[in-house]
Amino acid sequence: MKNITGLPEELGIEEALEKEEVKIRVYIETRRFGKPTTIIEGITKDVKTILKELRRRLACGGTFKDNHIELQGDHRKRIKEVLVSLGFKEEQIEIL
């Protein structure tokens, strides 16, 4: 990855810039047997760590596949506050 800021990579400035640029979409899909699944699209960096934290805080199962996060259950009410605490801005998060 090319350093776009010219600053040392140890500062983590580029990761912060990437978090500010991303647009996150959260929506519900109904799966087999009428079970709701929360889908989160738009997170591309550090997905494994974010997924682990989401599963822990929301007390649910989840996975990352097809470039989106899938969480078991309907978590639209709490997902925004959890993502904001993980460093994303409220304006970036769109809940459908």
pLDDT in tens, 2-50: 555 566 666 565 665 555 667 899 999 998 899 999 999 998 888 999 9
pLDDT in tens, 37-63: 999 999 888 899 999 999 999 999 999
Report the pLDDT value the prediction gives residue 86, as an integer from 0 to 100.
87
Q: Is the Cβ–Cβ distance between 71 and 37 less than 8 Å?
A: yes
The distance from CA 50 to its chain's CA centroid, rounded to whole angstroms, is 6
Long-range contacts of 58-61 (CB under 8 A, 24+ apart): 58/82
Task: Please state the domain count of the chain.
Answer: 1
Give all strands (DSSP E) within the chain, no chain letters: 24-30, 36-41, 62-65, 68-72, 93-95
CATH number at residue 74: 3.30.780.10
Q: Is residue 34 part of a domain?
A: yes
